[in-house]
Chain A
Amino acid sequence: MLKTRGEKTFVAAITTLLLLFSFIAIVPLLSVISISFSSKSAVVQNLVSIWPKQFTLDSWSYILDRPDLWKSFFLTLGSTVIGTALALLITALLAYPLSKVEFRWGGVIMVGVVIAMIFKAPIIPYFLTVRGIGLYNNPLVLILPHILNPFNLIIMRSFFKEFPKELEEAAFLEGSGYFRMLFQFVLPLSKAVLATLALFYAVVIWNQFQTPLLFLQNTDWFPLQMKIRQFITDDNIIMPGAASTVDLNYNERTLRSATVIFAMIPIIAVYPFLQRYFVKGAMIGSIKG
């Protein structure tokens, strides 16, 4: 395929550049990982760049012994699992009627959905409304505002619309109603779109920061991102009584690094297996949007 020397140089140059970019993309992660596994003395002497020096697990064992971090972790994990399941349910329940011509509210609701997609809810009236329905300092606020996304709804609706009519008609003749149709025929055949949308919802709920910042004052209900922010910004929280601990093998910086990596692990762990779903989803999104 490559004929001239010029072309070979061209491709080689591009490959080198892209490898360099990939390196730049992961170097910050390597740096933080290295610090979390290095000793305090190596870190304060500026010895650590992208490989651990004076390897130690002390920062990690300190972090993993923090009950408050685990509490936030499980709160976030729980709200992500429950929230994603609930979001798929609510989205499917609205997307299904919207994919049916016999549903007479369909046209009006679709306009409403598109408007909701274009205009973001203004933050202050949103805050006042959500506080008004009792979600202030209520952990349900980690779930309820995320259970329907207009964009995801439209993706699911277009998917449902492509179902062959004959299949449903046969089922209707056997006497199934719409609920059975949806749960026994349509959803089991929609695994691909459900997986993609589940990822979208899960990432939003796992990574959410603004919602808990607005609504959760009580630190008992802090989800992981809020906890991490506390750890990053407040030395007294990550390492209470720091001054009296000179002989330790960790400091605020190694602990912060371990915390940041800790919060990243679930995403990095599942990402390689799910990348194709993410990419597929982004492509569907770009075509519809």
Chain B
Amino acid sequence: MGRVNLQRMKVYWPLYAMAIPGILFLIIFKYIPLAGSVIAFKDYSVFKGFIDSPWVGFKYFHKLFDYPDFVRVFGNTLLLGLLRIVLVFPIPVLLALMINEIRKSALKKGVQTALYIPHFLSWVIVSGIVFDIFSLSGLFNIVLGWFGHEPILAMQDSAYFRPVYVLTSIWRDAGWGTVVYMAAISAIDPQLYESAMMDGASRFKQIRHITFPLLLPTVLVLFLLEIGNFLDLGFDQVFNLLTPMTYSVGDILDTYVYRTGIEQAQYSFATAVGLFQSIIGFILVYIFNRLSKKVSDGGVW
């Protein structure tokens, strides 16, 4: 047996050698941090490390719910997550259905290129643009001026943070979100449309009775993935759009973890917040996956 293994290794060792850097990467950058989540139940000390820091049980989770800050931040996160699902998620579906109706390919390409481009800009750049557009003499207020409206400082006013979050999400990512749906639409059997046209179905009826229903499974899968990221609103986006004036509505779990954990070095507490966030996310995926199985006997797994 030992000899057989040795024989094997003579031929196959390169495969094992190749895998080593990647495995090391996964261990260091994924698995040690994942295991390090235990410090949510410990009093983490930099000198003792993940393993030797003393256990404290649920101390930090109790602390979590005693902080009025945390409750507010959690509420902000839930609300923004909900807005994203309701207002942002459907846009790429609608856009894809619309783009699909354009048959002139040059026009179609042009529209797609224009809609895709913002996706490749970092949130730092997007926020730079957005702060300029909404500044006192920015484009937004110039246009408001045409209609005789008083200027609005949207970025410095907590009443506008949520709309700005939704609009920037749509502006940057909705166009790119159509790619997946366009792929699903192009996989639909053209014969379906041909026979529908023979029966005299209008373009609108074809969308309603062929394209949309056949697109729905893709929509459902992406919807579930979206639910899985419900509390994951995008650190870069929120962090770069926030100002001290909008903290009250724009501070979310991700920025809260950053502030308490990195800036104030409350490592165990911030880890507990992060762990709480993951657990809620996981429960949401589980519930919605069960629901979708009931609805469509599909589900993601």
Question: A residues bordering B, Cβ < 8 Å?
Answer: 1, 4, 6-7, 10-11, 14-15, 17-19, 21-29, 31-32, 35, 43-44, 46, 49-50, 90-91, 93-94, 96-98, 100, 102-103, 105, 109, 112-113, 116, 119-130, 132-133, 144-145, 147-148, 150, 153, 177-179, 182, 203, 206-207, 209-210, 213-214, 225-226, 228-229, 232, 253, 256-257, 259-260, 263-264, 267-268, 271-272, 275, 278-279, 282-283, 286-287, 289
Contact = CB atoms under 8 A, between A and B. Distances in A.
B192 interface: no
30 contacts: A7-B203, A32-B133, A46-B142, A90-B22, A93-B19, A93-B22, A94-B19, A94-B23, A103-B16, A113-B26, A123-B254, A124-B39, A125-B35, A130-B29, A144-B29, A148-B22, A178-B18, A209-B239, A228-B128, A253-B132, A253-B135, A253-B137, A256-B132, A260-B125, A260-B128, A263-B125, A264-B125, A282-B176, A282-B179, A286-B218
Interface string B244-268: 0000000000100110011000010
B202 interface: yes
Contacts of A130: 29
Interface in B130-179: 130-133, 135, 137-139, 141-143, 145, 171, 175-176, 179
**B interface secondary structure, majority:** helix
Contacts of B54: none
Nearest to A268: B117
A250 to B, nearest CB: 14
A170 B290 CA distance: 49
Given A25-B117, A28-B129, A278-B116, 18 more contacts: A7-B203, A18-B98, A27-B139, A28-B133, A32-B128, A35-B132, A94-B19, A97-B18, A103-B19, A122-B34, A122-B278, A125-B50, A145-B29, A150-B30, A179-B14, A228-B124, A268-B117, A279-B179
Given A260-B128, A282-B180, A15 B257 contact: no
4 A-B pairs with least C-beta separation: A125-B36, A94-B22, A22-B114, A207-B122
B124 A232 contact: yes
Interface of B: 12, 14-16, 18-19, 21-23, 25-26, 28-37, 39, 44, 46, 49-50, 95, 98-99, 101-103, 107, 110-111, 113-118, 120-125, 127-133, 135, 137-139, 141-143, 145, 171, 175-176, 179-180, 183, 202-204, 218, 225, 232, 235-236, 239-240, 254, 257-258, 261-262, 267, 270-271, 274-275, 278
A116 B22 CA distance: 12
Given A14-B98, A93-B19, A126 B203 contact: no
B15 A178 contact: yes
Contacts, number: 255
B133 A122 contact: no
Contact of A124 (B16, B125, B257): B257
A1 B203 CA distance: 10
B211 to A, nearest CB: 13
Given A14-B98, A209-B122, A275-B116, A283 B132 contact: no
Contacts of A133: 28
Contacts of A178: 12, 14-15, 18
B288 to A, nearest CB: 15
Given A28-B130, A29-B129, A260-B129, A283 B183 contact: yes
Nearest to B275: A122
A97 B49 CA distance: 34
A274 B136 CA distance: 37
Nearest to A19: B111
Nearest to B180: A286
Nearest to A231: B128
A98 B22 CA distance: 11
A90 B25 contact: yes
Contacts of A229: 124, 240
A97 B114 contact: no
B18 A179 contact: yes
Contacts of A272: 113
